[in-house]
Chain A
Amino acid sequence: VVMTQSPLSLPVTLGQSASISCRSSQGLIHRDGNTYLSWFQLRPGQSPRRLIYKVSNRGSGVPDRFSGSGSGTDFTLKISRVEAEDVGVYYCVQVIHWPRTFGQGTKVEIK
């Protein structure tokens, strides 16, 4: 399953919002009814941090500025009120089909 993110680079003004798109080449709905699409943040020198799981559920300790949405094959991560600490690379990943596949990553930077 190919995961395609856009844009690959996203300059953002502090305090403004940012959106990242992730499109899968196949549907990600499990027979249990859940859609297993997650979003991760990778900051330099740190391990990936799970932001969102099952499309729209925020991970532990994740600020409510981060939100996920979507269905079928189209998904979006939105960062409201971007802060300096949000700089990094963001990845979507599908965990339904083998092998698990990540998007190419979207680099978020401050203008």
Chain B
Amino acid sequence: EVQLVQSGEGLVQPGGSLRLSCGASGFTFSAYDMHWVRHIPGKGLEYVSQISTSGGETYYADSVKGRFTISRDNSKNTLYLQMDSLRTEDMGVYYCVRDNWGYDYWGQGILVTVSS
């Protein structure tokens, strides 16, 4: 059974940092590109970032470029999202998602709260 289990939920102040993790099981993690997608209340679902199978290629939405860093450790079957310089507009639920020419499996979601 494919599973994506996320961790790293937290409350941070504006300008702070948070690292999200996503542990994968039930499939060959290293064979799939992985994405982060967020749900912002009142705005809907939004693409955040993606990483290639080897980790050699990464892409970011303009809204997070230069502040967020996606990475993966295929030996640990784990995906990461390092979020720096967080803003109130980054507040929402973050999902790790497997890319299979479309998003087929999603993590349970992690709530990120940015507030002073």
Contacts and interface: CB of A to CB of B under 8 A. Distances in A.
Interface of A: 34, 36, 38, 40, 42, 47-50, 53-54, 59, 89, 91, 93, 95, 98-105
Residue from B37, B44, B99, B104 whose CB has the most chain A CB atoms within 10 Å: B44
Interface residues of B, number: 19
9 contacts: A48-B45, A50-B102, A53-B101, A91-B44, A93-B103, A100-B35, A100-B47, A101-B47, A102-B45
Contacts of A48: 37, 39, 45, 95, 103, 106
B2 to A, nearest CB: 10
Interface of B: 35, 37, 39, 44-47, 59, 61, 95, 99, 101-104, 106-109
Nearest to B46: A102
Contact of A42 (B45, B47, B102): B45
Nearest to A89: B44
B44 A105 contact: yes
A42 B37 CA distance: 13
B110 to A, nearest CB: 11
B107 A53 contact: no
A59 B101 CA distance: 13
B104 A47 contact: no
A28 to B, nearest CB: 11
A93 B45 contact: yes
B44 A47 contact: no
Contacts of B37: 48
A105 B45 contact: yes
Given A47-B108, A48-B95, A95 B102 contact: yes
